[in-house]
Amino acid sequence: MRAGRQGWVVGRIPRRRGSIKTPRPRLAHSKYFHIIKIMKSKDAITALAALASEARLSVFRLLVKRGPEGYTPSELSDRLSVPAPTLSFHLKELVHADLIVSRREGRNLYYSPSFERMKALVGFLTENCCSLADEACGPDCKPVAAAMRRVRA
């Protein structure tokens, strides 16, 4: 493509008229898993991969302990004794996996866990608990799987 007269962009002309195809934006499935109330294997792999680092796991666990109030990056850095650039990288990975969310309040940015995503991940992991067992499933895994079935209905 090159600039033509009066700043118009000139490119290739399509072969047939009316056949111009505009690229459609693809939906990020991981951000829309809650619409259909099921988590896909790909989403679970992304979330588990994000938690597969000791630093990210400790950040996530600290945010879960704090609850919906969350922490600012500087508070997280102080509590975990992690340098700011390293923490920024780990927060980016957790946000990309939709395990944490950020919100702005004035000049401060707060990170808090996405409880819906966390519960969906645990539900995905325990969804078919004891489904192939010869005996009835004990009470160990029924509550999480049963809670996820109620959400889908």
Tell whether 93 is covered by a domain: yes
Domain annotation covers residue 59: yes
Does the residue 135 lie in any domain?
A: no
Indicate whether 3 belongs to any domain.
Answer: no
Q: With respect to residue 1, please indicate whether it lies within any of the assigned structural domains.
A: no
* C-alpha Rg value of the chain to the nearest Å: 22
Return the pLDDT at 62: 97
Q: Where are the beta strands (DSSP E) in the chain?
A: 2-3, 9-10, 100-105, 108-113
Given a cut of 50, the residues of the chain with pLDDT beneath it are: 27-30, 32-36, 143, 145-146, 153
Task: Quote the number of domains for the chain.
Answer: 1
CATH of the domain at 75: 1.10.10.10
pLDDT for the residue 133: 76
Q: What is the pLDDT of residue 33?
A: 46
pLDDT for the residue numbered 97: 95
Determine, yes or no, domain membership for 69.
Answer: yes
Query: Looking at residue 153, what is its pLDDT?
Result: 47
Task: Give bridge partners of residue 105 from the DSSP assignment.
Answer: 108
Is 106 domain-assigned? yes
pLDDT confidence of residue 127:
82
Q: What is the pTM of this model?
A: 0.66
Structural domain boundaries enclosing 107: 36-124
Residue 61: the pLDDT is 97
Pair 145, 127: CB distance under 8 Å:
yes
How many Å apart are CA 63 and CA 98, to the nearest integer? 13
Q: What is the pLDDT of residue 29?
A: 47
